[in-house]
Amino acid sequence: MTISTSAAKPSANEFIKQRDPTLSGTIAQTLADGQADHFAEDDLQFLKFHGIYQQDDRDLRKTGKKYIFMVRCRIPGGLLTPAQYLVCDDLSSRYANNTMRVTSRQGFQFHGVAKGGLRALVKEINDALLGTLAACGDNNRNVMAPPTPPTNKLGEQVQEHARRAAAAVLPRTRAYHSIWIEGVPLDLEDPANKDFVDPLYGKTYLPRKFKIAFAIPPLNDIDIFTNCCGFIAIGDGSGKLFGYNLTAGGGMARSHGNVATFPRMADVIGFLPPEKVVDVAKAVVTIHRDFGDRADRKHARLKYVLEDRGARWFREELERRINFNLAEPMPFRFERQGDAFGWNRQADGRLFLGLFIETGRIRDRDGWRMKTALREVVAKYQPEVHLTPANNVILANLAAAQRDEITRVFAEHGVQTEPERQGSILRRASMACVALPTCGLALAEAERYLPDLITRLEGLLAEVGLGGQEIAIRMTGCPNGCARPYMAEIAFVGKAPGRYQVWLGGNEASTRLNRLYRDVVKDLDIVTELRPLFTRYAKERVTDERFGDWVARVLWPAQPAATD
């Protein structure tokens, strides 16, 4: 898309992309410069397309900036072969901080990477037939798909469609291969590069990031309505896939104090046959490309196109581009979200093991050596590794005869396999983004703070007679919503150091947005703030009513949403 100068002035990012559609910048030259410890400002935007963020350790800023890098691995559907998992484990030890962060989009993040190790890390990721291209940036990010091992052929077909969609919307620039695999600057005098225009994204890519996901009812483990483009599988109990209901226009990100930005659930647009998935995914991307706001990046997501123009307009525009008419949506129902923990049986008789990874950080610490245990089990028993949208890990395709041996290996490293011993039901339903000290956008703690807060909330729930109650709790260090807080029963959204917004009222199926309850609550006052609510909930709930449903039934009619 050519930038128009007749409308509002495009953002600076649009001119950066237009000047260099190859996304090469001076990345290769800076990589080769041993004296440079960081990249130029324009290159920071290109690096995101390559799956890399330049960061610094904010805990150390008083002594000066220490530049480090986060590298995000794009893993469609979150599926890894045993060999790929072991490569990632090894790379995290050699080039990063000896941890792997499972992302809320089923990828891996490597943190604390030094500039001198960047190229080697990215090359070795690609050597393992994985990649980082388009893990960040103004393009489609990692394509999500259900992580629980399929119960029939329908699940296998959905995973295959997710892989096809991911391949179809990948940027085609040759700069990525030249810089990271060959280790040389892209030859911009080559006409193929000098005049390069991406066949899908055009010269300036998308106005902002884009997200695609697949889900299989009744389990909404993907949080399908938070995505720009979603495919809800419609089939029968025998595993026959009839097609997909298309959703469009979901997204979490907002900005404090800016009412023009808000979380939004996707609209259900229509029904399509399985063979049209790739065509539809590409067409939805092009609608965002052509109609997204390129002047205001805070208003640039596809959700605002749907909000401003409507679902009916979107469907008509989509049908014009794909040259066929969608059918009306098929009936479906989501009942729950979350992962299956502990040992479970697959449809083929083999087993899978669901492991809770608190806040998604695979690491070793005193008494809990998850990283070492996973490495030993994957190396010896060769399971397929599934990363989940809730930051957890599933080991699939294990023989029943291996169960006791694997349980013993984990126990030797302080890791329990029984669900209730992996973490309380409240803890297992929690999520947090990375936040401090590495995320440059964080306003408050999240990953480092939530575990202790969960302990305090467990005590409060026990105090009011609600011990053992599951409540979906999510925490983010800023309002951008990486842990999808606006779908949670309780969410804490960072507003300043030690201060959070409190959002209440999401539901178990992740089909309802929550609402702002308190604009600013100090971290030490959170328990005090929630005590009267939990006390009322314990007394007023109906049979089996969850906290979020009680909030929607009792609090919402009596109290308007707070404002920030």
| Catalytic center residues | 72, 141, 209, 211, 433, 439, 478, 482
Kindly report whether the peptide bond that precedes residue 218 is cis, defined as omega within 30 degrees of 0: yes
Q: Where are the alpha helices (DSSP H) in 464-518?
A: none
Spatial distance between the Cα atoms of 328 and 334, rounded to a whole number of angstroms: 18
Spatial distance between the Cα atoms of 132 and 108, rounded to a whole number of angstroms: 10
Element at 301 (helix H, strand E): none
Please give the backbone phi and psi of residue 281, each rounded to the nearest 5 degrees, phi first: -60, -45
Q: What are the residues facing 216 on neighbouring strands? A: 219
> What do you get for the CA distance between the two ends of the chain, in Å?
36
Query: What is the token pair recorded at 497?
Result: 């150091």
Spatial distance between the Cα atoms of 81 and 89, rounded to a whole number of angstroms: 12
DSSP letter (8 states) at residue 6? S
Query: What is the token pair recorded at 40?
Result: 């130029």
Spatial distance between the Cα atoms of 450 and 457, rounded to a whole number of angstroms: 10
Q: Which residues contact 388 (CB under 8 A, 6 or more apart)?
A: 78, 102, 106, 147, 221, 339, 394
The answer to whether 435 touches 500, Cβ cutoff 8 Å, is no
Strand order across the 241-248 sheet: 212-215, 229-235, 241-248, 267-272
